[in-house]
Amino acid sequence: MFRVLACFFACVLAAESQDVTAICQKIAARYKSLDGYRIEGNFETYSGSGGGASSKFLIESDAKAQKLRVETPGLWVVSNGSSIWTYMPEQKKYSKVDAATDQASDQEEANSNDAALAMYRLVARAFASIDQRAAKTEMDREQDVKTADGKIRCWVMVSQFPDRTEKIWVDEERYLVLKSDVDLSKSHGETARVAFSIKRFDVRTPSDADFAFTPHSKDVLVDELDLPGQPAFVGRPAMDFELKDLDGQSARLSEMRGKVVVLDFWATWCGPCREELPTIDKLANRLKGQNVVFLGVNDEGASTVKSFNKKHNYSFTTLEDTHDKVHAAYRANAIPSVFVIAKDGTIVKHFVGGRSEEELLAAIHTAQGH
């Protein structure tokens, strides 16, 4: 009898484990298949030392057209597929870049301090790979979750990670995650939690109008925003670095003090970069004898860049950043990114996206008089 019971319970546990695995696979497949959606919900954080905070959020996505809208009380990110706006409603400031230049990898995006994109990853993006996560996941129970559309029956699943414990509530019919509660006490050494609950999850693709950004009359367009945890570059000392040029010669930024430095992050595949490079090369030659140095920063490898420069007859200096360390230090996920650095090493201008010759010259003249 004991052997029969042991076999029975072993089979039950195996079946339960398989159910959890299958559910995770279906969740991942569901999120990967979503062409568009609108999510309204509430986000909460709590720490033993800092108390708690709660805020509403809105996420809209048209995956096929690469359109996105994320709204939190202090920060919005809106993309219509060709442009990306980042907006701070309390400061009445916004920035705009060419969406085609945003080639950040998932890892780079994961390292971003942008609170709105962090919300997007937590609530939507993360579950597309839930079946690939290295965690022990178990079924806890079934429970109803109250939403704007009524009560929805959910599986409650618990995953154990080395640095956290995550509990999620999964819609049993749609395989969408309606609640999440992440306990970060393991890594923080004190009580720390991040949670969200979804009021409404509509899987219909929003209209094009939802991905438009229209600033108010008092809103101001700026080159960069001073985001929480991601301070603006302008007015701060440029971070020093040393890279080799395409011929293997080392160049250190700090050794160029006394000269204006135009630092241009670019790539051969980047359309806006290719449009701007003739102006960069023209100004580099024109200002060569005026204590102005143009430095391109590229991560594609010397042979690729040499061939490209030879084809277009570009002569400005390009430095190799094959491990993307300088890209990361200057947060150059969107390119072209241009930093104009004064003679004392202070960044006086930061452009994201292509700029005209007049705008670049004006920034250089500002740096020369700094």
Mean pLDDT by 10 residues, the chain (370 residues): 39 51 95 96 80 86 91 90 88 80 42 69 91 88 94 95 92 97 79 90 95 94 71 84 93 94 91 89 92 93 92 94 88 84 92 84 88
Of the residues 7, 24, 154, 273, only one is catalytic, namely 273
Range(s) for CATH 2.50.20.10 in the chain?
A: 10-220
Between CA 199 and CA 200, with CA 171 as vertex, the angle to 5 degrees is 15
Token pair in block for residue 312: 């277009």
Active-site entry in 7, 11, 24, 270: 270
Is 10-220 a CATH 2.50.20.10 domain? yes
Portions of the chain given CATH number 3.40.30.10:
233-368
Position 245 scores a pLDDT of 93
Instruction: Say which CATH architecture domain 233-368 belongs to.
Output: 3-Layer(aba) Sandwich (3.40)
Contact in structure between 80 and 208 (CB atoms under 8 Å): yes
Is 319 exposed, middle or buried, given 0-12, 13-18 or 19+ CB atoms closer than 10 A?
Answer: buried
Place of tokens 């250089």: 364
For the purposes of burial, counting CB atoms within 10 Å of the CB of 3, is it exposed (0-12), middle (13-18) or buried (19 or more)? exposed
User: What's the rounded Cα separation, in Å, for the pair 94 and 342?
Assistant: 25
Q: Is the dihedral of CA 8, 10, 16, 19 positive or negative?
A: negative
Q: Would you state the pLDDT for residue 107?
A: 38
Helices (H), ranges, 36-158: 106-110, 115-123
Q: Catalytic site residue 273?
A: yes
Give the per-residue pLDDT at 219: 94
